[in-house]
Amino acid sequence: MSIRVEKKREQEYEVTVEEGGTRTTHVVTVKPAVHERLTEGRISAERLVELSFEFLLARETKESILRRFDLKVISQYFPEYERELRKKISG
């Protein structure tokens, strides 16, 4: 599986997930305040999006992930998201 994150414009990232010969594309918004709160500036917004997709893909198929969303909504679907993300960032 491959996850490619590309900044499209300020606060907006296009994510392409390829697996098993199929591909999905998603547009994710990351507001600076959310980026700072989740990472304390330790990693780039692009890396935050990539880690967030790794988290999501461990729980659902790429086809089940919303095609367009704000990163902060992940916590609404998966309450453990922020805790797990911080653990991963801390290493």
pLDDT at 46: 98
How far is Cα 24 from Cα 67, in angstroms, rounded to an integer? Answer: 8
Taking alpha carbons only, the member of 78, 62, 55 closest to residue 15 is 62
pLDDT at 18: 97
Q: In what order do the strands lie in the sheet with 22-29?
A: 2-9, 12-19, 22-29, 68-70
pLDDT at 17: 98
Each residue's pLDDT tens digit, 2-25: 999 999 999 999 999 999 899 999
- For 20-89, give the secondary structure using H, E and C: CCEEEEEEEECCHHHHHHHHCCCCCHHHHHHHHHHHHHCCCCHHHCCCEEEHHHHHHHCCCHHHHHHHHH
Domain interval for residue 58? 2-90
Say whether pLDDT at 76 is over 80: yes
pLDDT at 27: 98
How far is Cα 30 from Cα 61, in angstroms, rounded to an integer? Answer: 22
Query: What is the pTM for the complete model shown?
Result: 0.95
Domain count, the chain: 1
Taking alpha carbons only, the member of 58, 85, 77, 84 closest to residue 3 is 58
Say whether pLDDT at 91 is over 80: no
Each residue's pLDDT tens digit, 22-70: 999 999 999 999 999 999 999 999 999 999 999 999 999 999 999 999 9
